[in-house]
Chain A
Amino acid sequence: MAMKRDQCLKVLARHRTNEIVVAVYMAAQEWVQISPSDLNYTFTGAMGQGSSHALGIALGRPDRRVVVLDGDGSLLMNLGSLVTIGNAAPANFIHILCRNGTYETNGAVGLPGGEKVSFTGFARDAGYRKVFTIDTLDDWERQIGGLLREEGPIFVEVRVEPGDKYPEDFARLYAVKQRDAFRRAVLGN
């Protein structure tokens, strides 16, 4: 089973309070429209790097919850970051993996490994405190509030598929002026 990704993100947006959200690729394109905020960080610059940017942010602001909306293709490019995050063990780190099984942005070609790969297994063995898999919108709606309050680092795999189409705007995702707005928002000036 799988959820429509935009529906999944809309549920997260309803539960969002003051969390910093780091998002990559398709989730980022949709998230900046579903939950616009200067506390959205989409300036990851290179595929796979979202979780690492999020770790830096989480270490820099341990008083704020940091949610990363990662992709499965992205995470495959930076699997070592799971070990780095597990070792650093930031209590404010919530790693959400939008698992769709494809490189959706680059033509929806399937991922190597397919269903055989256990991302939750990787995360558990890398030292994340808890791991979860959620594949229905009802379960997501029921659990997200508690997940956002869990002591991290936690890893949540959500099974998603494309929902409504959202316009792509990579220039917006990587705009330095937006990053500087994020900095001002985080630093309180």
Chain B
Amino acid sequence: MSTSTQPATTTLRGADVIAAIKRAGVRFVVALPDRTISEKVLKPMLADPEFKVVQVCKEDEGISICSGLYATGHRAVMMMQHTGLLDSVNALRGVAMEGKNPVCMIVGLLNKGQPGVAPKDSKAYGVRIVEPVLDALGITHQLVETAGDVEKIAPAIENAYATQTPVVLMIGTEPQ
């Protein structure tokens, strides 16, 4: 059941997120499930023969797997919950940033609140600190929670690979 109050024309759709990831040339997906994005993004990807999905036990593994894939010429995205991102700060520091690896992360902001509520204004402490932590690490981040935001995805991934820098795309609401 949707918790969104967005008008239908601005509703974020999982199929559009997936299409944008494909447009960016990504075929490897490394993932731990997050309730925000499991149903309409991860589960369809698991069933999509165009994707090779690697399920991991912990999020920092995924940051390294994406880096190994980059070293062999492949593009990947790492999907996880914001709690896993916070748990992976040392890998973000050493593997993604110092190692100059273009790790592209799709991060669900579980319990952020309704679309339009900025992460910094969320009632959830864990969500409020995501952007400050990423800013301290020097990692670029963008919020994706409306249909129009989907257009940010492919350019963000392209830029990450062009500049050998990680990027976090925060999914602020459950896609439909």
Query: Which residues of chain A have a CB within 8 Å of any CB of chain B?
Result: 41, 43-46, 48-49, 52-61, 78, 80-81, 83-84, 87-88, 174, 176, 179, 182-183, 186-187
B 105-142 binary contact with A (CB < 8 Å = 1; else 0): 00000000000000000000000000000000000000
Contact of B71 among A41, A52, A80 (CB under 8 A): A41
Given contacts A83-B57, A84-B55, A84-B57, whether A49 and B71 have CB atoms under 8 Å apart is no
- Chain B interface residue bracket vs A: 20 to 34
Nearest CB of chain A from residue B137's CB, rounded to whole Å: 13
Cβ A52 vs Cβ B64 within 8 A: yes
Task: Write the chain B residue with the least CB distance to A82.
Answer: B57
B74 interfacial contact with A, CB 8 Å: yes
Q: Is the CB of B90 closer than 8 A to any CB of chain A?
A: yes
Given contacts A49-B91, A179-B99, contact A55 B68 (CB under 8 A): yes
Kindly identify, within residues 44 to 67 of chain B, every residue whose CB is under 8 Å from any CB belonging to chain A.
52, 54-58, 60-67
| Residue pair B99, A55 in contact (C-beta under 8 Å) | no
Question: Total A-B residue pairs with C-beta atoms closer than 8 Å?
Answer: 117
Which of B's residues lie within 8 Å of A, judged by CB? 28, 52, 54-58, 60-74, 76, 90-91, 93-96, 98-101, 164
The secondary structure that dominates the A interface is helix
Report whether B54 and A49 are in contact in the complex, using a CB–CB cutoff of 8 Å. no
Task: Give 19 A-B pairs besides A57-B69, A84-B55 with Cβ atoms closer than 8 angstroms.
Answer: A45-B95, A45-B101, A46-B60, A46-B93, A46-B95, A49-B91, A49-B94, A52-B61, A53-B67, A54-B68, A56-B68, A56-B76, A57-B72, A60-B68, A80-B57, A84-B54, A84-B57, A174-B99, A187-B72
